[in-house]
Structure 1
């Protein structure tokens, strides 16, 4: 079994789900006594959050490269970033660290394409919804047409992530907000919805959407187990 290196803490609420999902999948595949061989470098999210909103991506890149190098030094074989937003720094991490990086968008897009969908709605932080690092990868590598919410809806989705979900707050009011945003994306032609923030799976349920949901946290965790158990 390969050793997985997880860059976590962004937020720890979703990183905890990664730990659970990866270990559950290893146990399912190998048997009850088995668990994953992994390392996690969990950052303090408060300064990361501030740098994100300040737009200081150079400083954020230094944090992520430092985390990757620590995991490499600890014996990791494969890297995962346990958040969608920080995949904006994929190129910097790959340039600085030789370990293979399992990009969160790839298993997600692969699952969407395998299910036969081509036009997807994307929910996530404002950075993920508005910048091209994520939408461009979905479109350029997988041929997906990506719809994002309108500006007011994007702000609501972003605020709920940063004001509630990263703090473990799950409210019915916010669940309804997301359900309404999803409905508007579906009305614009979305055939499926990508939950493109690793905390959204804590809030949104299948019954909150008229179309299939693709949870990046679960799909990334499954792909991590694939990588860990591959020849």
Structure 2
């Protein structure tokens, strides 16, 4: 079994869900009382937020993730999962500096959407994800269009993630607001939705979405287990 290197702490809530689901899936697939081999490098979210939001210093934020990635490599990880969607924007810059691969969350998500034959995915996440190019580019490579929420919708999603979800607050009224946003995106032509923030699936279960919903957390965890068990 390969050793999974996990960059977590962004937030601790989704990191805990990653640890739980990876081990649940490992036991289900491998049987017995098998559990995953995981080494965790937990980033201090406060340091990351101060770099990204307060100082808007992308280079400093990337450097934090690079230090964690090198620590995982030194600890013997065979590959790296980042338990956060928007941090994957740094992967193209970081991958050439490492000897082990990243398992990219957007690639895993795009493959799952493509397998269902869906064509236009609404992308919900923090602004760095919704306004960045890595999700649209990877979706396009898989023959899938990306639909981004409008400005009011983006503002609500961003604020709900930072002010509620990462602080372990999950409100029914926020869940209903997400359902309304997804319904409006459906009316504008989306045929599915990528829950492209690892905290959103903790608020909105796939069965509660007005459109077919893809939990990036669940897809990433399943792909991590498959990669860890491959050729085991």
Q: 1:86-114 CA distances to partner (integer Å, 9 max, x unpaired)? A: 00100122021111110001111111000
Unmatched runs of 5 consecutive residues or more in structure 1: none
For residues 225 and 121 of structure 2, what CA distance do their matches in structure 1 show? 25
- The alpha-carbon distance between structure 1 residues 55 and 135, as it changes in their structure 2 partners (threshold 3 A), is farther
2:206·2:215 contact (CA, 8 Å) conserved in 1? no
For residues 91 and 99 of structure 2, what CA distance do their matches in structure 1 show? 12
Partner of 2:218: 218
**Residue pairs, 1:65-144, within 5 angstroms:** 65-139=66-140, 141-144=141-144
Q: CA deviation at 1:208?
A: 3.2
Q: CA deviation at 1:224?
A: 0.2
The DSSP-based 3-state class of the residue aligned with 1:158 is helix
Unmatched runs of 5 consecutive residues or more in structure 2: none
The DSSP-based 3-state class of the residue aligned with 1:128 is helix
The DSSP-based 3-state class of the residue aligned with 1:214 is strand
Task: Give the superposed CA RMSD.
Answer: 1.0
Q: CA deviation at 1:200?
A: 0.3
Partner of 1:196: 196
**Residue pairs, 1:144-159, within 5 angstroms:** 144-159=144-159
The DSSP-based 3-state class of the residue aligned with 1:210 is coil
Q: 19-28 or 48-57: which moved more?
A: 48-57
Q: CA deviation at 1:209?
A: 2.0
Partner of 1:16: 16
